[in-house]
Chain A
Amino acid sequence: MAEILLSEAEKAFIHHGVQDDLRCDGRTRLDYRPIILETGLVSNASGSSRLRLANSDVLVGVKVELASPLSEKPLEGRLEFFVDCSANATPEFEGRGGEDLANEICRFLQMSYMSGDTINLAELSVLTGQQCWVLYVDILILECGGNLYDTVSLAVKSALYTTQIPSIKVATMDGDQPELELSEDPYDTKRLNTQNVPCLVTLMKIGNHYLVDPTPEEECCSSSGVVVAVSGTKKITAVRKIGSGSLHPESLVSMLKTASEVGTVVNKILMTKLLEEERAGKTQKVGFMR
């Protein structure tokens, strides 16, 4: 990730701030920065969202496609994640520079969605063993302002929330080939239940304390931390340690506990905001023009 050059004095300043539960931007340790969210931006996609957390900016599009299910899971559809780190975010992403980070995020997302509690993949099945929906989740990282994991997960959840899956029915069988009939009404779509889709919470350890939503400067000061995937039901579906430093088991346990609490709150707030936006109905899209 983008490395920032900090002097020892600056680092010490951040350290002391965290110790006193007052960070450089005035937050306490468990405060998030302001979030701006807009959905339905990409009209070509089945679902989309753009989420901006302070200076981190992510655009997510979900495309649904018909495919045959995996042979080991004939009853389920699937999700495929793809992360693209735009070179707009930082010059380091140029060429294949962002690939490692992209793969890391991709893999962790896949892992956190693996648990059966998060999303009911059976809803994506069209015809057992033959046809299912595959949701291609394309994540475009436009700007890195720290705490990418959280930003991405919130954006993905919002995009999935708005995803419209065309309703399709098996009209006739011909030979072994099903003849699928697409509903003629473009509004005749179904939505996934995204209530339990996990949010990722990054906890960074600085000194003896840990904090959420680190800025790039704070990330710089920390040697270790955890990313925790917390589903809507307070469950932890995946955990990943980041950074080169080590964590004491005791502090790890307490970090997980905090993460699950924070995650649940974030989840709840996101869902209410999404609902609010949906209720407001069609409004002028803002997009990137502000």
Chain B
Amino acid sequence: MDMLTSKIFLRKTKRGKVLKVVREHYLRDDLWCGSDLCKKCNQENSEVLDDAPISSSTLCACPHYVVVDTNVVLHQIDVLESPAWKNVIVLQTVLEETRKRSTNNFKKLKEIMATRKDSFYVFVNEHHKDTYVERKPGESANDRNDRAIRKACSWYQTHLEESQQGREKKKKVQIILLTQDFKNREQALKEGIPAYRVDEYVKSLKDFPDLQEKLAASHSDDNAENREPLFPEHWAPTRIMTGIKSGKLLQGIFHCSRENFLEGSVSVEGQDKSILLQGHASLNRAVDGDIVAVELLPEDKWTSPSGIVLEDQEDQDPGDQIEKEEALLTNSTKGKDLQPTGKIVGIIRRKWRQYCGILLPSVLAEGTRHLFVPAERKIPKIRIETRQAATLSSQKIIVAIDSWPRTSRYPLGHFVRALGNIGDKDTENEVLLLEHDVPHHSFPETVLACLPSMPWMISQEEVNCREDLRNLDICSVDPPGCTDIDDALHFRELSPNLYEIGVHIADVSHFVRPDTALDKEAANRGTTVYLVDRRIDMVPELLSSNLCSLRPDQERLAFSVIWEVTPNAEIKKTRFTKSVIRSRRAYTYAEAQCSIDDPLQQNELAKSLRGLNKLAKIMKKNRMEKGALQLSSPEIRFEVSTETNDPIDVISKPMLDTNSMVEEFMLLANISVAEHIFKHFPECAVLRRHPVPPESNFEPFLKAGKTQGFTLDVSSNKSLAASLDAAVKPDNVYMNTMLRILATRCMMQAVYFSSGTVAQVDFYHYGLAAPIYTHFTSPIRRYADLLVHRLLAVAISADVTYAELLDRKCVQQLCNNLNYRHKMSQYAQRSSVALHTHLFFRHRVQDEDAYVLSVRQNALQVLIPKYGLEGSIYLKEKDEDSKSAFIYNPDEPSQTCDNITIRTFDRIVVQVSLDSKYVQHQKIAVHLVQPQIAGLSVEPIKTVNVSEPTPKKLKSGN
């Protein structure tokens, strides 16, 4: 017999190529049988298989060894755990087949074998020269394995026979095969191998009568490999295109629901209501952001969004199976609030990118197929193949999706790179920057080469062509710790009935010239991103924190807007000029407030602040009357420990008069500039608009108002502002804020645009109630302002123009990028806050006041104002039959248990902690404290620091 054979098989690669793989397969003649009675094998004493095995089986009275078939391991693994099993031979064929079919069972079998080494013997039959079988033409892999098992059995029989020729027949050890497969058993019996069903064998074990209870319901041997497609197919592109043209299909962007992974919606352009999608088949492998083609279902199948909050199973790998979803979805409230419902029939364009996340701990660490859990909740888990799971499991990694075949429960992807250890602040920061596509590499040489050389002085020629305002008492008011000061103010009385006020903005356009590397970099970055502990600059620090920043007592170039106004805040004259200024002082909001309030301070700066404040109040009142909205979103600040950089306390950002004073003048400057540049450049002015939200957006808001007994009028921004002001409840002060938070969520996103691309009626800024608006006042941190500066400079003949500036298409393209970057930077900032909230709660458990944002079928969404944190309280635990049966009233909506009813906006007390059950995937957990409900609420704890670890090495930084 040749000791070298080769295994040949065909394999399809990921790319669809067919490979012929040839593996050399070496056979050996030194693999022992593992039996004590054997005299042929050259093995040591004390083997696994006994010399004279004893079994209590009545079925097979003679001494015997047991060989188990693969299907026994697959279907009756629990039975195998019993100590009843002795002298079991596990063939390598069986091990490998099990491993391929079910990693869970494979792992269990390994465990059983490890703990009961004296009873289970692994025989490497695939490499034994006498038991290796080659696949025959026309034979399935399964049949071949069955044959290999039978071959091993008969080999054992003849092999043992030779060693026990002297024994009497009844004492001779036999080999019996246990199998669930009818065909295999038949065949074995034909070949003279005693074979039994596992259930009949187990039942015959008279010493272990309990064991048969463990028997799994007998499966008729199903070829478990389920390669049936799990999803409906996608239509061919041509069919989709004709469908869209004929109106049968709709095209739109797919958004996955944050709360229920089996639900999503498609927003179709020009349609008020988005289309609802429910269930795996309807979602049909769409990933959040994809452009998809949707077919509407007939109207009698329309439903409304289910009220339940559903997360894809956290901690296990279900394999390629789709869980039963009826139960998850049927609860959706039928009958009312029907929404157009549809199903996805094709993907027009994938918007896959690279995703950050972590690996799901796998049952089989040395396996190569793993599930990846993206940080973004809306993205499904991704199946990847990697051999380094052990090292990656503690790291944040980046993964890209490759495909999503019909037969796969999850999209298939591949590992791109590792970012660093989970929980590391640097890693997490990196994750959120990448996740939000924030360009954060350090500035390249070409960009730095565009910077002026230091030491830098304003040249005399520069002063000559600018207005010299160094004599004015100019000051700036900013948040504490601000180093990029881009605005400053002044105020003086020209006559008792005429004041002069000025807004001076850093002249960034002087440094960032068009068409330089610096300009391109800034245009790409679009905006400065403020994270809790880090700032990602739009322009290099030399400009942002020094040369452009309007530092006190330093001469700086500025772009000034100067008004002459009456004491009633009526504007008489507006002019724009490039200037040189010297700020007298950089106030913080609090300091400025002190100066205004302190009557003892009578210096020029304090006086001008008072004048400004007075005018600002009038201007604000006028603006409110026009219908400007005062909205609210919770904003917090972290106190950060100087040593460890970890957050140690949270404070809400206070709102002072001076905040709104500065804001008021910035608005005024922006509006004045917007009017001016639009007059000069009707085709290519960079403006900002805030579209009027469609009525349907307000639905959740109106519903919430109703529960509190308020009728809210959302017909215009003015009526909305009025009804918001009226909706006050003395016993629930925070209610109004909550309403405003909800109103904010109904709003559209404000966007930059080029004036030539939109009709003039649509320039309207809904939130500010201004017919025209732009951004002018923060050129250090926003590129749009820089464009506006350039336009304005051309308009007042202070600078020259260039081609791209006057091309409305180019401008619109720039605006699109700015809108995208702006949105992403906001998300990144929010994520940064969330990250720090995580860090903050790492060693804390706290009871906090919270308010119910919305009541869902199985959960309460709550807002904790102190941390601006939102969380869900699940009312029923997933598996257990809840003792605290809440009754959901979808009309109100409310949840009632016993005599306690929880409605929207109710104040409750919750306990906030960090759920570290999965070290890999920590999340903030919120538990109900008050009102107390047995089985759900937890014991109150008053600000206890649990297990605050003694800071081991503070030196390590963070």
Interface residue ranges, A against B (CB under 8 Å): 43-46, 64-66, 166, 168, 172-176, 179-180, 182-188
Given A174-B405, A175-B235, A182-B10, 10 new contacts (CB under 8 A): A64-B18, A172-B406, A175-B236, A176-B236, A179-B405, A182-B12, A182-B18, A185-B140, A187-B137, A187-B138
Q: Tell me whether B10 and A66 are in contact (CB under 8 A).
A: no
B221 within 8 A of A: no
Within 8 A of A (CB), among B114-159: 135-141
Given contacts A46-B20, A66-B16, A66-B17, contact A187 B135 (CB under 8 A): yes
Contact with A along B488-515 (1 / 0, CB 8 A): 0000000000000000000000000000
Enumerate chain B residues within 8 angstroms of A166, measured Cβ to Cβ: 10, 18, 20
With beta carbons under 8 angstroms apart, the residue of B17, B138, B405 that contacts A185 is B138
What are 9 residue pairs bridging A and B, where the CB atoms are less than 8 Å apart in the complex?
A65-B17, A66-B17, A66-B18, A172-B233, A175-B236, A175-B347, A176-B236, A185-B135, A187-B139
Interface hits, B227-258 → A, CB 8 Å: 229, 233-238
Q: Are B136 and A187 in contact (CB under 8 A)?
A: yes
A249 CB to nearest B CB, Å = 49
How far apart are B405's CB and chain A's nearest CB, in angstroms?
7
Neighbour of B135 across the interface among A43, A182, A183, A186, CB < 8 A: A186
Query: Which B residues touch A180, using CB under 8 A?
Result: 12, 16
Chain B residues with CB under 8 Å of chain A are 6, 8-12, 16-18, 20, 22, 135-141, 229, 233-238, 346-347, 405-406
Alpha-carbon separation in the docked complex, A174 to B235 (Å)? 7
CA distance A179 to B140 in the complex (A): 22
Which residues from A are CB-within-8-Å of B8? 43, 186
Q: Bound state CA distance, A44 and B238, in angstroms?
A: 40
Contact B234 A175 (CB under 8 A): yes
Cβ B346 vs Cβ A175 within 8 A: yes
Instruction: Return chain A residues, CB-CB under 8 Å to B235.
Output: 175
Chain B residue with Cβ nearest A173: B233
Q: How far is the CA of A64 from the CA of B17 in the complex (A)?
A: 10
A62 vs B43: C-alpha distance in the bound complex, in angstroms? 47
Q: Which chain B residues lie closer than 8 Å to A172 at the CB level?
A: 229, 233, 406
In the bound complex, what is the Cα–Cα distance between A174 and B8 (angstroms)? 30
- Which residues of chain A are near B234, meaning CB under 8 Å? 174-175
A186 to B347, CA, bound (A): 35
Residues of B within 8 A of A188 (CB): 138
Q: Choose among A45, A64, A184 the residue that contacts B141 (Cβ–Cβ < 8 A).
A: A184
Chain B residue at smallest Cβ distance from A282: B134
Closest residue of chain A to B15 (Cβ to Cβ) is A66
Bound CA–CA A257/B79 (angstroms): 79
> A187 vs B135: C-alpha distance in the bound complex, in angstroms?
9
Cα of A172 to Cα of B234 in the assembled complex, Å: 10
* Most chain B CB inside 10 Å of its own CB: which residue of A46, A65, A168, A175: A175
Most-contacted residue by chain A among B6, B12, B238, B347 (CB, 10 A): B12
- CA of A19 to CA of B860 in the docked complex: distance in angstroms? 107
Residues of A within 8 A of B18 (CB): 64-66, 166, 168, 182
Task: Specify which chain A residues have a CB less than 8 angstroms from the CB of B238 in the assembled complex.
Answer: 176
Q: Once the chains are docked, how many angstroms separate the CA of A156 from the CA of B843? A: 75
Q: Looking across the interface, which residue of chain B has its beta carbon closest to that of A46? A: B20
**Chain B minimum-CB-distance residue to A284:** B2
A residues near B10, Cβ cutoff 8 Å: 166, 182-183, 186
B contact residues around A174 at 8 Å (CB): 233-234, 405-406
Bound-state Cα–Cα, A13 to B9, Å: 56
Query: Within 8 Å CB of A65, what residues of B?
Result: 17-18
Which A residues lie within 8 Å of B139 (CB)? 185, 187
Smallest beta-carbon distance A140→chain B, Å: 18
Chain B residues lying within 8 Å of A46, measured Cβ to Cβ, are 20
Contact A184 B17 (CB under 8 A): no
Q: Closest residue of chain A to B2, judged by CB?
A: A284
| Residues of chain B with a CB closer than 8 A to A64's CB | 18
Taking CB atoms, residues of chain A closer than 8 Å to B237 are 175-176
**A42 to chain B: closest residue by CB:** B22
Could you tell me the distance between the alpha carbons of A175 and B234 in the complex, rounded to whole angstroms? 4
Separation in Å of the A246 CB from the closest CB of chain B?
A: 48
* Residue contact B406 to A179, C-beta cutoff 8 Å: yes
Do B9 and A186 touch across chains, with their CB atoms under 8 A apart?
yes
Would A43 and B138 be within 8 Å (CB), given that A66-B17, A173-B233 are in contact? no
Residues of A within 8 A of B135 (CB): 185-187
B22: A residues at CB distance < 8 A: 43-44
Which residues does chain A contribute within 8 Å of B11, judged by CB atoms? 182
B134 and chain A: residue at smallest CB distance: A282
